[in-house]
Amino acid sequence: MFILDHLWIIIALPLLGAAINGLLGKNFSKTIVNSVAISAIALAFLSFAELVREFAQLSAGQIPVVKTYFTWITAGQFKVDFSLQVDQLTIIMLGVVTFVSLLVHIYSIGYMAHEEGYYRFFSYLNLFVFFMLTLVLAANVVLMFVGWEGVGLCSYLLIGFWFLKQSAISAGKKAFITTRLGDFGFTIGILLLFWTFKSVDFGTIFKQLVSTPPEAAVPTGILTTICLLLFTGAVGKSAQLPLYVWLPDAMEGPTPVSALIHAATMVTAGVYMIARMNPLFSRAPVAMFVVALVGALTAFYAATIGLVQTDIKKVLAYSTVSQLGYMFLGLGVGAYASGVFHLMTHAFFKGLLFLAAGSVIHAMGGDQEMPHMGGLRSKIPITFWTMFIATFAIAGIPGFAGFFSKDEILEAARASNPFLWALGLIGAGLTSFYMFRLIFLTFFGKPRYDEHKVHVHESPHSMTVPLIFLAILSTAGGWVAAPHLVGGTEYFDKFLHPVFTMYAPAATVGAEGAAEAVEAPATMLLHALTGWPVIIALAGLLLAWWFYIKSPQTPKKLADSLRAPYTLVLHKYYVDELYNAAIIRPLLWISTNVLWHVVDEGMIDGTVNGVARVARDSGRELREIQSGNARSYATWVVIGAVGVTVLMLGLWGMVR
Amino acid sequence: MSIIPISYYLVLSAILFGLGIVAFVFKRNVITLFMGIELMLNAVNLAFVAFARAHNQLDGLVFVFFVIVVAAAESAVGLAIIITVYQNRQTLNSERINLLKF
């Protein structure tokens, strides 16, 4: 039980790696830098493997394991410990984070080989893993928030990694400020949580929810408010409507960063947080509906933008926003395990898509525009096949990881609300279409680049090996939750079951059991294979094939005939322009004309300078009194003496 | 014989003190200022003596002796300062002895 007792080791390793590279790395050779960084993550991954072994020996009553190392803050009732906890959800998240980040680190050896600031990159990347692990291991909301903000910081640093590029700097700032908006709500949510439950520990809060008798229970209104505020944080961090705008811009960062932070791990922090808070959300149906609605709308909306993007990374970015929407849809309709399952499979296939896209960009010598590509299939076969598998996974083609997770979510949504289901279903079709569009434009058809200028070449092994690993997981990863009849074990759902039922309200536990019993396995299989999601995914595939292989002139004709909607979508619904006009410009105007010129210069500077001016001016007048002329001093003495005498006589008179 | 009431002494003392103040505040010659100070001291002495007599106590008389001694010392030092100032500045006009300022 070594690692279980010393959970801190898992988060300390990446921190150590970040410190070594960050403080000393400047003078190291590239080999030393990447061996330090990768061994830190590899050791963290091995610790995780050992943790799983030890965790498997625990009995159900011992979970969650909470380890308190020291008290961090005490102020009256407010007490925050540095305490870490492990339960099934943590295990899943730890696995995803350590494994994907290990692969991304390895991939970065090749991808970043010729970049300046090599040590800086790996140091940031390790630091990110440290914060992400803190986030998932934290046993209280405040420590979780530390990780939450920390990953935001690393995201900012890595988006702006090429800090000489103006667009990268702006994108970094945009990401930081936009997520800060959500975090504002999150902070208030934490305070309200403490105010309500007098504790910030997950265990203590959840136990209170379960053990209080109904008449002493927390009003649903307060619970709903807390949940909505926490969800605001998730909206910012996980790029949902209306705060998703930073994620597409975040693609300015190096591609491994996009894969790790902006697809596989950090952006799923919001999903993890809501899954962690499921006892609260389960008791706030209104908040749940909001989560589901925002998720479904985002899933659909971002998918429509993805249809027309030409930058390969931008397509993937909008796709990420859309897939995160699915996760929230799953959480919102109460299918927590499905949401987390999609989080996991998405980490595999979207991480893979980004890394493969990075490989494509690498092959193209830095060009990210799909209209410049084409026919790359035979030139970079490993990249092509792995990306092809990932596309099958994300599109929901049966047998691949995304099929199982997305199908579970849509199934749960159908049971909950037909409207949400329809949105999700259409979004799934769009997903399939834009992903195959990406594949067909990039890898099929005739080369559209200048073959004399661009020397397309397959990436080095350090880049292709992670691709192959992720491709295997994108295929096999779904089977851990597959229903019995297709040969699966539903192991995933069963594994997570305790996390989502331990503190659940009494009513839902029974209902869930009933729902499981209703549908016979045979009909479920039939349903799954012939259901709407599969049909619509195949339709998307065929449509993309028809548009981009069969008759490549169709898209242009269609765009011409639907000029207005096409322009609207191409410009991302003018949301950036809208935010610019509605928020940024007024904010700038107020900042400049009111806060700067009036408040800062007028009131704050005015007060400070005014005090100084009064002191100076009165001093200038008063120093005239000290004339050096003894007689005038005597006059003052006399005036003073007379004053005192008059005062005394007057007082005396009053007393008498 | 009838005793002169104390108020007479006090009024005389106040008049002398007032003269001293007026001399100090309005005259310019440093010697005159000095005389004003002496006048004020002696006005106070007079008041002390008068009170001592009226209350039949020796405290006031003791104070008067102290004041006389201090005044003698003060005149000695003061006159020495005045002579030195005159040697340096060739003037006894207090308006022009005003370097001790900001």
Once rounded to an integer, what is the mean pLDDT over residues A139-158?
Answer: 93
Q: Which residues in B lie closer than 8 A to residue A645 (C-beta atoms)?
A: none
Pick A138 or A563 by higher pLDDT. Answer: A138
Q: Which residues in A lie closer than 8 A to residue B25 (C-beta atoms)?
A: 631, 634-635, 638
Look at the alpha carbons of B16, B18, B22, B25 in this order and tell me if their dihedral is positive or negative. positive
Which residues, 6+ apart, have CB-to-CB distance to A30 below 8 Å? A113, A118
Residues A499 and A507: their CA atoms lie apart, in Å, by 16
C-beta separation of A386 from A470 below 8 A: yes
Q: How far is CA A446 from the centre of its chain?
A: 38
State which amino acid sits at residue A533. Answer: P
Pick A404 or A608 by higher pLDDT. Answer: A608
C-beta separation of A306 from A319 below 8 A: yes
- Return the closest-CA partner of residue B21 out of A634, A645, A628, A636: A634
Per-position b or e across A523-557, b if 16+ CB within 10 A of its CB: ebeebbeebbbbebbbebbebbbebbeeeeeebee
Peptide bond into A242 cis (omega under 30): yes
The per-residue pLDDT for A221 is 87
Once rounded to an integer, what is the mean pLDDT over residues A565-575?
Answer: 82
pLDDT higher than 50, residue A515: no
The per-residue pLDDT for A214 is 67
The distance of B43 to chain A (nearest Cα, Å) reads: 16
What is the helix (H) or strand (E) element at residue A432, kind and residue range?
helix A418-443
- Return the closest-CA partner of residue A136 out of A203, A74, A88, A186: A88
- Return the closest-CA partner of residue A326 out of A306, A300, A345: A300
SS3 string of A481-540? HCCHHHCCCCHHHHHHHHHHHCCCCHHHHHHHHHHHHHCCHHHHHHHHHHCHHHHHHHHH
Instruction: List Cβ<8 Å contacts ≥24 apart for B49-53.
Output: B49/B9, B50/B6, B50/B9, B50/B10, B50/B13, B51/B6, B53/B6
Q: Which residues in B lie closer than 8 A to residue A623 (C-beta atoms)?
A: 102
Residue with tokens 């935001």: A152
Range in A12-21, A149-158, A444-453 the model is least confident about? A444-453
The distance of A72 to chain B (nearest Cα, Å) reads: 56
The distance of A652 to chain B (nearest Cα, Å) reads: 19
Q: Which two tokens stand for residue A163?
A: 């800090």
User: What does the pLDDT profile of chain B (102 residues) look like in tens digits?
Assistant: 567 888 999 999 999 999 999 998 888 898 999 999 999 999 999 999 999 988 888 988 999 999 999 999 999 999 999 999 999 988 888 888 877 776
Using the beta-carbon criterion (under 8 Å), do B101 and A627 form an inter-chain contact?
Answer: yes
Q: Which residues in B lie closer than 8 A to residue A630 (C-beta atoms)?
A: 33, 94, 97
A565, HSE (Cβ side, Cα atoms, 13 Å): 7
Q: Which residues in B lie closer than 8 A to residue A634 (C-beta atoms)?
A: 21, 24-25
Nearest residue in B to A624, CA atom: B102
Residues A530 and A540: their CA atoms lie apart, in Å, by 15
- Return the closest-CA partner of residue A131 out of A139, A119, A143, A141: A143
Residue with tokens 């990863």: A477
Residues A576 and A578: their CA atoms lie apart, in Å, by 5
The per-residue pLDDT for A512 is 45
Residues B27 and B37: their CA atoms lie apart, in Å, by 12
**DSSP labels, A278-336:** HHHHHT-HHHHHHHHHHHHHHHHHHHHHHTT--BHHHHHHHHHHHHHHHHHHHHHTT-H
Based on the number of CB atoms within 10 Å of its own CB, is A167 exposed (0-12), middle (13-18) or buried (19 or more)? exposed
- Judged by a CB distance cut-off of 8 A, whether residue A378 touches chain B is no
pLDDT higher than 70, residue A516: no
Question: Angle at the Cα of A217 (from A215 to A219), degrees rounded to 5?
Answer: 105
Q: Which two tokens stand for residue B33?
A: 């200022």
- Return the closest-CA partner of residue A305 out of A604, A571, A603: A571
The per-residue pLDDT for A639 is 92
- Judged by a CB distance cut-off of 8 A, whether residue B24 touches chain A is yes
- Judged by a CB distance cut-off of 8 A, whether residue B98 touches chain A is yes
Q: Which residues pair with B29 in a beta bridge?
A: B93
Which residues, 6+ apart, have CB-to-CB distance to A424 below 8 Å? A296, A299, A300, A326, A329, A409, A410, A413
* Mean pLDDT rounded to a whole number for chain A: 86
The per-residue pLDDT for A575 is 85
Question: pLDDT by residue (tens digit) across A198-229?
Answer: 889 998 888 888 877 666 677 888 899 999 99
Question: pLDDT by residue (tens digit) across A253-289?
Answer: 899 999 998 888 899 999 999 999 998 998 888 999 9
pLDDT higher than 80, residue A346: yes
Q: Choosing among B17, B22, B95, B99, which should be mutated to test the A contact, i.e. which has the most A CBs within 10 A? A: B95
SS3 string of A257-284? HHHHHHHHCHHHHHHHHHHHCHHHHHCC
Q: Is residue A78 classed as helix, strand or coil in its secondary structure?
A: strand
Using the beta-carbon criterion (under 8 Å), do A631 and B101 form an inter-chain contact?
Answer: no
Residue with tokens 């849809």: A329
What pTM was computed for the model?
A: 0.79
Once rounded to an integer, what is the mean pLDDT over residues A83-105?
Answer: 92
Q: Which residues in A lie closer than 8 A to residue B100 (C-beta atoms)?
A: 628
pLDDT higher than 70, residue A529: no
Peptide bond into A64 cis (omega under 30): yes
How far lies A601's CA from each of A358, A586, A596, A598, in Å? Answer: 49, 19, 6, 6
- Return the closest-CA partner of residue A209 out of A225, A185, A193: A193
pLDDT higher than 80, residue A93: yes
The per-residue pLDDT for A404 is 82
pLDDT band at A252 (very low <50, low <70, confident <90, very high): confident
Q: Which two tokens stand for residue A552?
A: 């490549």
The per-residue pLDDT for A514 is 37
The per-residue pLDDT for A121 is 92
DSSP assignment, residue A57? T
Q: Which residues in B lie closer than 8 A to residue A635 (C-beta atoms)?
A: 25
Which residues, 6+ apart, have CB-to-CB distance to A111 below 8 Å? A254, A255, A256, A358, A362, A459, A463
- Judged by a CB distance cut-off of 8 A, whether residue B97 touches chain A is yes
DSSP assignment, residue A62? G
C-beta separation of A294 from A417 below 8 A: no
Tally C-beta pairs within 8 A across A and B: 29
- Judged by a CB distance cut-off of 8 A, whether residue B21 touches chain A is yes
Residue with tokens 């898509």: A353
The per-residue pLDDT for A489 is 60
Residue with tokens 């030890």: A54
Q: Which residues in A lie closer than 8 A to residue B98 (C-beta atoms)?
A: 627-629
- In percent, the amount of chain A with pLDDT more than 70 equals 94
In the stretch 332-371 of chain A, residues with CB closer than 8 A to chain B read none
Residue with tokens 């300390």: A12
Q: Which residues in A lie closer than 8 A to residue B94 (C-beta atoms)?
A: 629-631
Of B21, B24, B95, the CB nearest to A629: B95
Phi, psi of A85 (to 5 degrees): -135, 155
Residue with tokens 């949301």: A575
Residues A68 and A635: their CA atoms lie apart, in Å, by 76
Once rounded to an integer, what is the mean pLDDT over residues A43-62?
Answer: 89
pLDDT band at A519 (very low <50, low <70, confident <90, very high): very low
The per-residue pLDDT for B102 is 62
The per-residue pLDDT for A507 is 55
Q: Choosing among B34, B94, B96, which should be mutated to test the A contact, i.e. which has the most A CBs within 10 A? A: B94
The per-residue pLDDT for A378 is 85
Which residues, 6+ apart, have CB-to-CB distance to A483 below 8 Å? A490, A521, A524, A525, A528
> ipTM surpassing 0.85, yes or no?
no
Nearest residue in A to B17, CA atom: A638
- Judged by a CB distance cut-off of 8 A, whether residue B41 touches chain A is no
The per-residue pLDDT for A456 is 83
The distance of A638 to chain B (nearest Cα, Å) reads: 8
DSSP assignment, residue A138? B
Which residues, 6+ apart, have CB-to-CB distance to A15 below 8 Å? A126, A127, A130
The per-residue pLDDT for A486 is 56
In the stretch 564-623 of chain A, residues with CB closer than 8 A to chain B read 623
- Judged by a CB distance cut-off of 8 A, whether residue A446 touches chain B is no
How far lies A286's CA from each of A235, A283, A294, A548, in Å? Answer: 16, 9, 12, 43
- Judged by a CB distance cut-off of 8 A, whether residue A631 touches chain B is yes
Q: Which residues in A lie closer than 8 A to residue B28 (C-beta atoms)?
A: 631
**DSSP labels, A360-394:** HHHHTTS--BGGG----TTTSHHHHHHHHHHHHHH
